[in-house]
Amino acid sequence: MQRLNSVNPDTAEGRQKELLDTVQGAFGLVPNAARIMANSPPVLESFLTFSQAMGNVAIGEKLHNQVKLSTSESNSCDYCTSILCAVAPSVGLTADEILAGRTSSSEDRRTDAALKFAEAVLARGGKVDDSQFEAVRAAGFSDGEIVEIIASVVLGCFTNFLNNVADTDLDFPRADPVEAGACASGTCMTH
C-alpha cells in the first residue's frame, strides 16, 4: 500500500497545480510519482528542471535512459523500472537496448563502458577506482559526458529512493523481472 499521498491534479491549488499542469502538458498525463513529488512543490520543480536539462545531454537520451534503467535495477525500484521500460521506445531504445540498460551490459563497447561506470558510481558511492575511471575515458567519454553519466545515476537514484520509500502505486504496466527474458522475445518487458 502506498505510503505517501498522491496530490490530485484536479483539486491541487497554487504552485502544486501549476507544476502538475506542466507535467500534464509535457507528458500528456501525470504519473503517480509526480503526484507524490507535488507534496513539496520545490521538489517537483527541481525534478522537472533537472529532468528537462538532462534531455539535452551530449551522451544522448538513449544512454541517459539506459543509465537510469541500470540504476533502477540496482536499487530494486519496480516503479521506475516499469515506467522507464514503458517510455523506452519513445526515446528510441530497442528491446535489446532496454535489456542492456537493465543488466548494465551491452555488446556496444562504448555503451557497455558507460553502463559499467554508472554501475560502479552507484555501488561505490562515486568512489570509483582508477581502472574504472580509465575504462570510461578509454571508451571515448569526455569530462562533460562523464559528468552526465554521474548525473544520470543521481537523477535515477532520486526517483528510485522516493518511489521505494513511498511504495508508489504503479500506473504503468509492471516490467517483468530481467530473468524472465522478455526482451529476447522482442517485448518491452512489461505485461
Range of the domain at 133: 60-185
Tell me the CATH number at 109.
1.20.1290.10
Q: How far apart are CA 81 and CA 68, in angstroms?
A: 8
Answer yes or no: do 105 and 19 share one domain.
Answer: no
DSSP states along 88-118: GGGGT--HHHHHHHHHT--SSHHHHHHHHHH
Hey, how many other C-beta atoms are within 10 angstroms of the C-beta on 48? 16
**96 to each of 62, 105, 122, 166, 189, how far by Cα in Å?**
12, 10, 23, 30, 10
Rounded to 5°, the CA angle 154-181-155 comes to 10
Residue 5 lies in a domain: no
Alpha helices in the chain (DSSP H): 14-27, 32-37, 41-54, 60-74, 78-87, 95-103, 109-123, 130-138, 143-166
Mean pLDDT by 10 residues, the chain (191 residues): 97 98 94 98 98 96 98 98 96 96 97 98 98 98 98 98 98 88 43 38
Name beta bridge partners: 126.
Answer: none
Answer yes or no: do 40 and 113 share one domain.
Answer: no
Closest CA to 26 of 56, 49, 10, 1: 49
pTM of the shown model: 0.92
Please report the pLDDT score of residue 179 as a whole number: 77
Answer yes or no: do 46 and 102 share one domain.
Answer: no
Residue 3 lies in a domain: no
Answer yes or no: do 43 and 78 share one domain.
Answer: no
Please report the pLDDT score of residue 180 as a whole number: 54
The phi, psi pair for 190, rounded to 5°, reads -130, 160
Tally of structural domains, the chain: 2
Answer yes or no: do 170 and 126 share one domain.
Answer: yes
What 8-state DSSP symbol labels residue 177? P
Answer yes or no: do 169 and 146 share one domain.
Answer: yes
Contact 175, 79 (CB under 8 A): no
Rounded to 5°, the CA angle 130-57-122 comes to 40
